[in-house]
Amino acid sequence: MEARLTAGFEPTVISRDSLFSGPYFGHAPQITTYDVSRDGKRFLVVKPSDEQLQLVVTLHWSSELAARLGKN
């Protein structure tokens, strides 16, 4: 949402405009589902997908890397 405000002690909303439309994940407690680039020109948003993804968790990866590099 973009909003234009009046300047002053008590700002007033002059107009509002929706920036995005579509099925994006909304904000949830303790989870940020969007970010803004440092220059303020782009957004990164989380969008649902029908594709199934696989999460791979590697425990003790530094030990495994050292062993593979021959640095025990």
Residue ranges per domain, the chain?
23-49
Query: φ, ψ for residue 68 (rounded to 5)?
Result: -70, -30
Res 44: pLDDT? 87
DSSP H or E stretch at residue 14: strand 13-17
**Token pair belonging to 30:** 């303790």
Confidence at residue 27, expressed as pLDDT on a 0 to 100 scale: 65
Mean pLDDT, range 29-57, rounded to an integer: 85
In terms of pLDDT, which residue wins out, 3 or 51?
3
pLDDT bin (cut points 50, 70, 90) of residue 35 is confident
- Positive/negative CA dihedral, 36, 37, 41, 46: negative
What does the pLDDT read at residue 6? 94
pTM over 0.95: no
Q: What is the pLDDT of residue 72?
A: 66
